[in-house]
Structure 1
């Protein structure tokens, strides 16, 4: 620094000059120290960035890191049978285990498409209670009889009666579908093999499930609502499905045919009617929707907008083609709170096994999932018998 001058051009006193010189030296030392620290910090941040680059990107690329390798490997397996990529993922990801029959978990896109179709299909799944489990059996505790209640006093305990408990077990069963395709079609890069596979699997699964939830006998398949012991509502126990007669054999009564529907509604307990619905097939619906009340108004109300369902006597109607036609002694109409009455249990995984040998020149895809179903609250379900 050049020698400082006073404001008027005169020299500074010696003691002031020394103080200024010391101050400037300390300021330079402070500046150099700050620059050194900033440089060291920049170097450390650069090293940290290099080490944590992948980690810092993880929140924005979770799907790219975990799903994309599975998606790519699964596509290769479907097209050419190359399972090296999937087996490599099995080692790294515990949830990509190989099934006992040799199948692999389907890619998320396929599994999600299948589940979406099953949820939207016209089956009991729309209204039932659906539970996802990892075990082989689902157990539910059901109260038989009514839980007592009473008023407590200062000198006596409330007189309440305890309801007995019934344990109901719903086992899982293997649901399978075997769509097929030609190897030439699989070799076409423009062919959406995953979309095609998901569509075929979903269609077969939906039809098989819908039939089992209504008429399944419980042997290697879910037990349907029509395969349980039935009895007239007046005498039905807590482990029987109560029914109401239509008033005529194989049809509705000649006079006041809709009375049996009203009886069916009020045969269900008031606690269940709030969430109740009808279920019948199209032929039965065609007969019911012609009914009118005493003032000539139809009992059936069509949906007013897309996404809504028609109503009968103010309750939703599910059209299930697996319900029987009107016939002598047939239980052609069901009414109840199906979420309380019926439970569907399933495992979340969908597995696919490629088989290029059994049906040459076609390639078979053996797809499986595990699902079960059964009535868990018999008081929440009533049937109309045409007798």
Structure 2
């Protein structure tokens, strides 16, 4: 496995060097890429994306193997305590519920130290020591399709969905040079009060009776993947662009203005624009571990071509499998709900995404019906989450690049 990963890493580096060579040649000759070169460049970018996806699969496979090894080691090391319910029993309970042999299955958020953080993390940082629950698998799939959830927001998990009042910072206190014995000027921070509710996101899934009775099928993984991706896509739209009216307030909707592009550029950004956006966010936010970039895939493709005044590419490919690529040293997360590069479009966001609060009310509600699609011999499942989102620090924790008006 290690030799294959090394080969994959070398291939990735080679593809990037080929892409750089195309850009460097065009720049040296002071021209744009020809149609043939542009097609080659896009193909190389697609190859990079495929290699990244393959690397991610290898990391996940290695994680599953370690989880299984740890689980078997735990089972062999000590007998199960009387009355305790192990993961195998939970799996069989889920399968019995899916077949209709019991009425309900509780998928509430796990308690205690086994609860996995809902933001990004690495297996080597402790993830290998925690068993993956059905709830954890579903949330992992929800996160993988939502760029804002990958960016590292602060997640508030509550048992119920009552309204939570959150103070939102709109201005910080400021100090001033004061003469001896002179009165000290008062400067209070400015707050506004916002509420975090619990908006309902739901999905219907259908599975054949044959699928549910086939013991070789990973039923837990199937349901978690299908429900997690559907719910993540639905919530992800509002987490980016929601207007707060009967829906979450999106991070882009409430982010501060950072940089506006130049005229005549059709909304596009330059290397200097991104550097200015980077430094428009003050150091305390910029140095946060949750600080990064957010844009759509096509926008990242344009950012990969940019160089600074020293001729160095702003985008730097990772040399470690599983580690994120960086733009000016900060990780890049992509989300299809981010605006495309265009006039007046907020196409790039940068800042401390831990200042965006995501409220998750309760666990995941799963219900089944044998009657909904009775004539097709399909079992229907209903998955529901309740969530809200709000940028709590609106003083410039997250800033955006906006394309020029003309």
Question: Which secondary structure does the structure 1 equivalent of 2:332 belong to?
Answer: strand
Call closer, same or farther: CA 1:153–1:326 in 2, change over 3 Å.
closer
Compute the RMSD of aligned alpha carbons: 3.3
Within 5 Å, which residues of 2 pair with 1:129-168?
129-136=154-161, 137-149=163-175, 159-168=185-194
Name the counterpart of 1:83. 102
- Is 1:224 the counterpart of 2:250 in the alignment? yes
Question: Which secondary structure does the structure 1 equivalent of 2:387 belong to?
Answer: strand
Structure 2's unaligned 5+ residue stretches are 1-77, 111-131
Question: Do the aligned residues in 2 keep the contact of 1:250 with 1:330 (CA within 8 Å)?
Answer: no
Aligned mate of 1:330, from 345, 364, 379:
345
Structure 1's unaligned 5+ residue stretches are 1-57, 96-107, 229-239
CA distance in 1, matches of 2:319, 2:210: 47
Aligned mate of 2:201, from 143, 153, 175:
175
Question: Do the aligned residues in 1 keep the contact of 2:145 with 2:229 (CA within 8 Å)?
Answer: no
Within 5 Å, which residues of 2 pair with 1:250-289?
250-252=266-268, 257-275=270-288, 276-289=291-304
CA distance in 1, matches of 2:285, 2:82: 44
CA distance in 2, matches of 1:384, 1:174: 31
Deviation at 1:320, TM superposition (A): 1.9
Call closer, same or farther: CA 1:215–1:154 in 2, change over 3 Å.
closer
Aligned mate of 1:343, from 352, 357, 362:
357
Deviation at 1:132, TM superposition (A): 1.0
Call closer, same or farther: CA 1:192–1:270 in 2, change over 3 Å.
closer
Question: Do the aligned residues in 1 keep the contact of 2:156 with 2:359 (CA within 8 Å)?
Answer: yes
Deviation at 1:280, TM superposition (A): 0.9
Name the counterpart of 1:372. 388
Call closer, same or farther: CA 1:63–1:322 in 2, change over 3 Å.
farther
Question: Do the aligned residues in 1 keep the contact of 2:268 with 2:341 (CA within 8 Å)?
Answer: no
Deviation at 1:307, TM superposition (A): 2.5
TM-score (norm 2): 0.65
Call closer, same or farther: CA 1:355–1:143 in 2, change over 3 Å.
same
- 1:325-377 alpha-carbon deviations (Å, 9 max, x no partner): 1111111111111112x111103411111022222322110011111112111
**Bigger Rg, which one:** 1
Within 5 Å, which residues of 2 pair with 1:2-13?
none
- Which shifted more, 280-289 or 316-325? 316-325
Question: Do the aligned residues in 2 keep the contact of 1:174 with 1:221 (CA within 8 Å)?
Answer: no
Question: Do the aligned residues in 1 keep the contact of 2:241 with 2:252 (CA within 8 Å)?
Answer: yes
